[in-house]
Chain A
Amino acid sequence: MPITTSESNNAESKKPDIKVSGSLVSMDPSKTKADVQNLNFWYGENNAVKNLTIPVADRKVTALIGPSGCGKSTFLRCFNRMHDLYPNTRYEGQIILQPHGLDLLSKAVDPLEVRMRVSMVFQKPNPFPKSIFENVAYGLRIRGVCDKAFIAEKVETALKGAALWEETKNRLQRPAFNLSGGQQQRLCIARALAVEPEIVLFDEPTSALDPIATGKIEDLIDVLKERLTIVIVTHNMQQASRVSDYTAFMYLGQLVEFNETQKMFVSPTNPLTEQYITGSFG
């Protein structure tokens, strides 16, 4: 038999066997920033996220882990309605943004408004073909802000918040492409911070970066969580254990286990979680 297909065969055969431990955390409702309730997501006929219920703690880091194709990025992109950009996609269930109880997935809610409150940092740094300054000012400009002094102040705050100010303060008008990969990614973080979002989504933000740049981003996440809620998708187990407070392990679109990161990495309750964390599959 060809070896290449054995893995997927295995995955197929495992499919019915997933024992879902689900959420092992009972969270005080006043401490959540978002409540994901019975979330299902479809690409056409493909049910990529299945019946997910997770609390997202306020001003904490929630990590989503799982093997490639398990739906963790798809799930992350539900938070800012990124799927609305593509045809044939469908959400079901709710993501309730606290404290006001706004359902982010409701048809009545404009995705633009959602994205203004829930920013995103992507896998590959994607600065715009503009100056460093204009990249960070972008979110303000598209909101129609014209006050120069105000924009300059916000840009400075955001760059400081992304630990990029010292490196860029003397060359704000230079093209963003001249920055290194790690700097570009911090610029994208600054861009996301400039509009003062409530939640920032990180989609494998360090997978294109070297270890030093990765370290800087991880340090940054540590600082940011003092004032923001962060949801991060990562392939890197060490990263998840280093930066996150809560971890959700997903497999084949389902939530297998959700727990405090410490507990999950020390004593996973689900055998599948243990196998994945210890690296025996995925």
Chain B
Amino acid sequence: MAIESAEKAGPKRYQRARQGISTRQRVTEGAIEWALFLAGASSIAITVGVLSVLIYESAGFFAHVSVWEFLTGTQWFPQFDPPKFGILPLICGTLVTTAVALSVAIPVGTIIAIYLSEYAPHRLRNILKPVLELLSAVPTVVYGFFALSFVTPFLQLFIPGLPGFNMLGPGLVMGVMIIPYVSSLSEDAMHAVPMTMREGSYGMGATKMQTAWRVVFPSALSGITAAYILGISRALGETMIVALAAGLEPTLTMDPRQPAATITAYIVQVSGGDLPHGSIGYQSIFAAGLVLLLMTLVFNVWGYRLRKRYREIY
């Protein structure tokens, strides 16, 4: 019955199609195409805009401070007279907090992803995943306050002499914040591994754990790498937690128990009005921003190449 009525309706529809596309449709199509193009182009325009502002303002900064001094100096004291602009302490603070965060987020995130993808019953997975993603919906200022007023005092119970401001506490909290980024994307990647892969492994007599680690994980490696890289970028760029709880003290140290300032925290500090607008100190935040941008760029490019290398072929 359904087919008969469809046949009756058929010729009419074809008649309309044969008459060609109406002018109104043509205009709408053209407008949509333009709108889509503009949307795509805007992202490029914004990136170029941000980059040019950064470079322009940094140029003003580098007119006063040599690039060599900036990149190799071990002291960062913009308020001093004469000011010292050695970015290394800030880079160091950024890398240490990032490392602490990743040491939490990558193992925990990966294990969660494996559990959700390989072990959890379907219904549990559908509940747990969104709940986990809520972790990233918590405002970072809340996390920062949590690091400062709960995690650090808690850590002080175990690490005697731990200063109230340190990199460990905010680093750990940042790690918790990043877990959902790592676990959610990794889980997506593992879930997308075709069942035939798993069956191949189970068919050899492998256990669930062996299948998950030796077959599913490497099969999903490209997606998992992407998840890790996103986590790294997120940690490098995280501002509020470290600004609140890490101490805003540019110290060149690899010891996470020490207070330090990250690039982002410094930018916040200066933007908040610590240094007069237009001064070299103020311009230094653009140079610092440029360094941060380059760092995340390096990680993104690296991630892109890894992704290409471990591209899934199934």
Contact = CB atoms under 8 A, between A and B. Distances in A.
A113 B215 contact: no
Interface in A128-154: 128-130, 138-139, 141-143
A138 B206 CA distance: 9
A126 B218 contact: no
Contact of A119 (B198, B203, B207, B314): B203
12 contacts: A85-B198, A112-B205, A115-B204, A116-B204, A116-B205, A126-B197, A130-B218, A138-B204, A138-B214, A139-B204, A142-B205, A188-B200
A128 B2 CA distance: 47
B202 A115 contact: yes
Interface residues on A, range: 20 to 34
Interface residues on B, range: 20 to 34
Interface in A160-195: 177, 188, 191-192, 195
Interface of B: 2-3, 194, 196-207, 210, 214-215, 218-219, 221, 310, 312-314
A119 B201 CA distance: 10
Interface in A193-233: 195
Interface of A: 2, 80, 82, 85, 112-113, 115-116, 119-120, 122-124, 126-130, 138-139, 141-143, 177, 188, 191-192, 195
A142 B203 contact: no
B210 A177 contact: no
B200 A128 contact: yes
A123 B195 CA distance: 12
A128 B3 contact: no
A122 B215 contact: no
B313 A177 contact: yes
A143 B207 CA distance: 10
Contacts of B312: 129
B218 A128 contact: yes
Contacts of B194: 126
Contacts of A120: 199, 203
Given A128-B215, A130-B218, A143 B202 contact: no
A141 B206 CA distance: 10
Contacts of A126: 194, 196-197, 199-200, 314
A128 B205 contact: no
Nearest to B211: A142
